[in-house]
Amino acid sequence: MGIKSQVRSFITSNFYVADSTALADEMSLLDRGIIDSTGVLEVIAFIEETFNIKVEDNEMLPENLDSIERIAYFIAQKKDQHLSA
């Protein structure tokens, strides 16, 4: 299962998503009310546990965590950094 599929599965099974087929990968999870500030912490815990990467305080930004697409990209970038370090 790819990163984006894992993120989508987590979001749709842990947060209320009325119609998961209508949830586009680039859709804002915060603006749509799918996740709130507590939900962001749950997403961070999921990222850290599932992908074994540390999300730093300065990385907890909407640019990294506001959509399935952004979360998947952020994870991929962190995994690349981790592998090249």
Give me the domain span that covers residue 77: 3-84
Provide the pLDDT confidence category of residue 79 given band limits of 50, 70 and 90. Answer: confident
Domain count, the chain: 1
CATH at residue 33: 1.10.1200.10
Q: What would the pLDDT profile of 1-59 be if each residue is shown by its tens digit?
A: 899 999 999 999 999 888 888 899 999 999 999 999 899 999 999 999 999 999 999 99
- Compute the Cα dihedral for 31, 59, 44, 49 and give only its sign: positive
Give me the pLDDT at residue 19, please.
Answer: 86
Give me the pLDDT at residue 84, please.
Answer: 67
Give me the pLDDT at residue 38, please.
Answer: 94
